[in-house]
Structure 1
Amino acid sequence: LHGRLDQVVCMDCRQLQPRSSYQDALLQANGGWRHRHAPAAPDGDADLHGVDFSTFQVPPCPRCGGILKPDVVFYGENVPRPRVDAALQGLLASQLLLVVGSSLMVYSGLRFVRAARAQGLPVVAINLGATRADGDFTLKHAGPCAPALEALAQALAGARAPAGSVS
């Protein structure tokens, strides 16, 4: 819904390119930065405290010279309408909505919970903390997402095993 960190998009011409090729261009333009390391945050960002960025070169879009950014929806931006429409169409063909790792504090995700409830669909959530839709869930697992999804995948695989098989 909110995009992909493995690609970058030009804010002018909308051309997409792999993040890895942009990373190569960044290193080529800023070879002296190659030795710097910072832990990656969950959002793909990194913090380098006390570093002077005044000489850092940001390569432009190779097609039009525009500014490139990760292909994600940042706060204050809108989810592209075609993406919202496709998700709503998918919801119409669904039997359940599963929310994973979202507080649903912004409407871009909350709208799907509301739409699912309006369709009479069950809404299940896996999330560590409170969400804006806690009152709308049919079921909520309060815990880390990865182990819960692994257990769910194993349970579903076992439920699909043919009679008499060992899973």
Structure 2
Amino acid sequence: MPALTLSQAAPTLGGVEAPELVELLRGRRVAVLTGAGMSTDSGIPDYRGPDSPPANPMTIRQFTSDRVFRQRYWARNHVGWRHMDQRRPNAGHRALAALERAGVVTGLITQNVDLLHTKAGSRAVVNLHGTYVQVVCLDCGHTMSRAELADLLEAANPGFLERAHDVGSIAVAPDADAVVGDTANFRIVDCPACGGMLKPDIVYFGENVPKPVVDLAYSLIDDADALLVAGSSLTVYSGYRFVRHAAAQGKPIAIVNRGRTRGDDLATVKIDNGCSPMMALLADELPALASSA
């Protein structure tokens, strides 16, 4: 059965109305899958939204095989991770945390590395692609915080941040990659424990999500009665597989996203709208949703 779709132009209550979405989730324990569209209202652009600029994220093969790519990445990340660290949860993140506290949301899988769900107060969070706050050595497994690495990179590249910011406004991607022009003289820092290759502890394009993380995410869906997707085009299989998993179990699926997604044909309800207003609407409907949940 094709999804019942509500457009942005539907009659609204405080700006938004989605009775089909509320009815679908009423009395059900809900697992949530979120993507980059969840964080756009926090000042982090997504990759594939209707208004997103073209983006070509670095692949794991490029990162590990070419020092020039690594140099460019760390130079840009040295600027971008601070922007990511300063972002704050928006109304959508706060609404999902409230729904979790009320027992409606039983677990949350996020494709984002920005930690905004955790900052908002959500506890049962699976960070599918890791987070921006940790760095790992690919040779010895040593880990360190991104803040620790920032101090080392700053010492190796004095004045780099100031020169980058002097250029003007900085555009930052969802993986904390900032647009910085001159990276040719940036000095990379190697692992302080073994001298090996350091990498952000996030899953790059072309890299597999660790199996224990995938299994934990599947278990959240297994324990829920419905799946809510918010802000993901589901283009990448690492997220789309969870929609297929829920569909195979016959569980209702609701998708909230601006524009089409890969999972639209599997959705019971599809809402073409932004995440913040729709999640806030669900939080406002807590008494209705929590009945029998």
TM (normalized to structure 1)? Answer: 0.84
Render the CA deviation track for 1:98-142: whole Å, top value 9, x for unaligned. 212111112211111111011111111121121111010111221
SS in 2 for 1:31: coil
Partner amino acid for 1:48? V
Q: What does residue 107 of structure 1 align with?
A: 237
Q: What does residue 131 of structure 2 align with?
A: 4
Deviation, structure 1 residue 156: 2.3
- Between structure 1 and structure 2, the one with the greater Rg is 1
Render the CA deviation track for 1:11-45: whole Å, top value 9, x for unaligned. 22233322222122211211120302233223311
Select the residue among 143, 154, 158 that pairs with 1:27. 154
Q: Structure 1 pair 75/141, CA: closer, same or farther in 2 (3 Å)? A: same
SS in 2 for 1:70: strand
Moved >6 Å (runs of 4+): none
SS in 2 for 1:21: helix
Write the distance in 1 (CA, Å) between the matches of 2:229 and 2:130.
16
Partner amino acid for 2:139? D
Write the distance in 2 (CA, Å) between the matches of 1:75 and 1:63.
27
Q: What does residue 47 of structure 1 align with?
A: 179
Q: Structure 1 pair 126/17, CA: closer, same or farther in 2 (3 Å)? A: farther
Q: What does residue 74 of structure 2 align with?
A: none
Write the distance in 1 (CA, Å) between the matches of 2:198 and 2:211.
21
Deviation, structure 1 residue 148: 2.1
Work out whether 1:84 is the aligned partner of 2:214: yes
Partner amino acid for 2:218? L
Q: Structure 1 pair 134/159, CA: closer, same or farther in 2 (3 Å)? A: closer
Partner amino acid for 1:149? M
Which runs of 5 or more structure 1 residues have no equivalent in the other structure? Answer: 162-167
Q: What does residue 94 of structure 1 align with?
A: 224
Deviation, structure 1 residue 159: 5.2
Write the distance in 1 (CA, Å) between the matches of 2:186 and 2:135.
18
Write the distance in 2 (CA, Å) between the matches of 1:87 and 1:133.
17
Higher helix share: 2
TM (normalized to structure 2)? Answer: 0.50
Partner amino acid for 2:176? G
Deviation, structure 1 residue 87: 0.8
Q: Structure 1 pair 146/71, CA: closer, same or farther in 2 (3 Å)? A: farther
Select the residue among 141, 145, 153 that pairs with 1:14. 141
Work out whether 1:128 is the aligned partner of 2:258: yes
Render the CA deviation track for 1:30-76: whole Å, top value 9, x for unaligned. 11203022332233111112x1x332111112222222222211111
Write the distance in 2 (CA, Å) between the matches of 1:67 and 1:123.
41
Q: Quick one: percent identity of the two aligned structures?
A: 46
Q: Structure 1 pair 6/148, CA: closer, same or farther in 2 (3 Å)? A: farther
Which runs of 5 or more structure 2 residues have no equivalent in the other structure? Answer: 1-127
Write the distance in 2 (CA, Å) between the matches of 1:104 and 1:125.
10
Deviation, structure 1 residue 157: 6.3
